[in-house]
Amino acid sequence: YCAFMLGDAIARRFTILGLERRLSLRIPRDGFFAFLFLLTPLWIALLFTLRHQLFHGYTLTLQSSSGAGLPGTYVAMCTVFLAITLFCGAREEIDWRSEFGHTLMRQRWLALAIYSVAILMSLSLGQRMPLFTGVVAWVVYRSAFVRPIKKNRLVIGSMTVVLAAGVFALLRVGHHLSTGGMFQNLLTEPVFTSFSLVFFLGHYSIPLLKFPWVLLSSFINLVPTVFYPDKTQAFLKLQDVGYVLYSPAGAVNSFVSFMANFGMLGTVVVLFVFGAILRMFSNMRRALVIRVMYAMTCGFIAFSFFRDPFSQSIVKEFFEFSWFTPILMVVSLNVIWCMGRLPQLRSERLAEMDTLRQ
């Protein structure tokens, strides 16, 4: 934590100007509406496929053998909708005084409505993380790039999120709502995450420095499951590098992942660099894609980063969902916009040549 905060403090006055200029790309006015138009039918089709698992809680989703990977695909689609919603909000916040202000506002509300329904359906599947990640990402975006949120509102909102987490935890396993059950669930979640940590500290010494073979092999997880169904069997596990993982509840404490991949000194360096990168992201305000990348990264840090293995948190949630997906969206929109402008540019060039001949 000290290394992370030190990296953040040192990078407060730094920014990557070249990267900011390259990523400050033109975003067509209706670009993200086109993404919604293309993805909404796929989302509806996926919901139809998962119709037998909706509103039956987390247990049925785990026990279902048909379409076992589809809930994960649905969560990934929710993350894409989150990126679109943040982009639409950012465009409206910057250009709301322009002649397209009302159009951008309608796009933002449409994206927010679709994302809200998608989150409701994910809750019915027992998936809580898309909701809480989205809430934190939006709060971070508003407080970092628009205006700071008042402390009393932040405290009330945080308490509401924590209580909602306890409520949804009971509902997804089919338990009746009760105050005792809710608080018991909230208190036991850190305990479940600590199983792997306590076992690691009791059976292994803390390494000074390690090479992240496990993490590097986990980047195979970026390959879509459609093209590589057995990809989880291809990358290394902690057991392959000499560590037995004790995780009866499924959560992996991030301390265990850090020590097994980087060691103590390596973890200090990695967290220092990570804190510096996030601070430079927050400094690059002119690039909308950087804003969205920063907000989504912070959203995943708040919950899943501390309890998911690196193959999920760093590879999928950071590299794929928070960084690669927003960049791919903006680059693809710019490519399409440039292709649409080619005939106009060609005609303007021919007109200039005719003028020169005359």
What is the per-residue pLDDT across 82-92, written as a single tens digit (0 to 9) for each?
988 888 877 76
- Give backbone dihedrals phi and psi of 36, rounded to 5 degrees, phi first: -60, -40
- Which of 57, 14, 148, 94 has the alpha carbon at shortest distance from 289? 94
Residue 95: CB partners within 8 Å, gap ≥ 6?
101, 104
d(CA 36, CA 85): 10
Give the pLDDT band of residue 274 (cuts 50, 70, 90): very high
Span 159-168, pLDDT tens digits: 777 676 666 6
Q: Does residue 21 or residue 81 have the better pLDDT?
A: 81
Q: Give residue 65's pLDDT.
A: 40
Q: Which pLDDT value is given to residue 221?
A: 82
Mean pLDDT of 68-79: 76
Confidence band of 296 (pLDDT split at 50, 70, 90): very high
Confidence of residue 60 (pLDDT cuts 50, 70, 90): very low
For every residue of 80-113, DSSP letters joined together read HHHHHHHHHHHHHHHHTTSTTHHHHHHHHHHHHH
**For the residues 92-119, what does the mean pLDDT come to?**
72
Q: What's the count of helices (H) and strands (E) in the chain, helices before strands?
A: 15, 0
For residues 155 and 178, the model is more confident at 155
Q: Running DSSP on this structure, what letter comes out for residue 249?
A: T
State residue 186's pLDDT score.
66
pTM, full prediction = 0.81
User: What are the structure tokens assigned to 238, written together?
Assistant: 């902690």
Q: Is the pLDDT reported for residue 188 higher than 80? A: no
Q: How confident is the model at residue 75 (pLDDT cuts 50, 70, 90)?
A: confident
